[in-house]
Amino acid sequence: MRLMVAHSARHAILSEIATYVGKSAALRAVIETPKGSRNKYAYDPDGDAFALATVLPEGMSFPFDFGFIPSTLGDDGDPVDALVLMDAPVPSGCMLECRLLGVIEAHQKNKGKPWIRNDRLIAVARHARAHNTVNTLRELPRPILHDIQAFFVDYNRLDDKKFHPLGVRGPRRAEKLVKKGIAVFKKQRRDAQK
């Protein structure tokens, strides 16, 4: 007796799923590293898995869930980064519906390389309770925003990189960065198919 195996098309990898939920304004974010984790995970689209990227020193952890916006590319060549405010951490690979609060615009410099833009989108998860009434970054308590910026500066310093915040902008600017990231992602896919 011969066993017949049905072959199906491969599922979409997480970095290439739809950016928005249906026709709604809800944005998708894929979480790589949960809030409170000292382990930094990075999504590997080639293996469709999460890899351990680094371990933070004792006493340092991610202040909120950190991940990316799918089907986007930032100036650094990776999907656009997003920090998502949520009450409790979610596991790596969890997809959250969220709304943008704004962006921390920043330059980043790897050792021996030129400065590039590496902005950090800040969003709030649809299921969040603690921050569900916050609509912009300016509405966050000042210590939280300060801690987020300080985390990114310190985190990059560990990898011998420089991270220089340029300013805080609102949800409209963040949305423009998402749209730009979608356009860059689509262009790269078209170019790869040629």
pLDDT of residue 1: 46
- Candidate ranges 4-8, 84-88, 109-113; pick with highest mean pLDDT: 84-88
Per-residue pLDDT of 168-193, as tens digits, reads 999 999 999 999 999 999 999 888 88
CB 179 within 8 A of CB 69: no
- Reported pTM: 0.90
In 83-114, which positions are buried (b, 16+ CB within 10 angstroms) versus exposed (e)?
A: bbbbeebbebebebbbbbbbbbbbbbbeeeee
Strand partners, 20: 27
Domain boundaries, the chain: 19-189
Percent of the chain with pLDDT over 90: 79
CA-nearest of 22, 125, 146, 24 to 82 is 125
Query: Is the predicted pLDDT of residue 6 greater than 60, yes or no?
Result: no
Query: Is the predicted pLDDT of residue 122 greater than 70, yes or no?
Result: yes
User: Quick one: CATH architecture of 19-189?
Assistant: Alpha-Beta Complex (3.90)
CA-nearest of 68, 43, 152 to 105 is 152
Q: What is the mean pLDDT of residues 107-113?
A: 90
pLDDT of residue 11: 67
Q: Give Cα 172 distance to the centre of its chain.
A: 17
Which residue, chain included where needed, has tokens 């979409």? 12
Average pLDDT over all residues of the chain = 91
Query: Is the predicted pLDDT of residue 55 greater than 90, yes or no?
Result: yes
47 exposure class (CB count in 10 Å sphere: 0-12, 13-18, 19+): exposed
Query: Is the predicted pLDDT of residue 4 greater than 60, yes or no?
Result: no
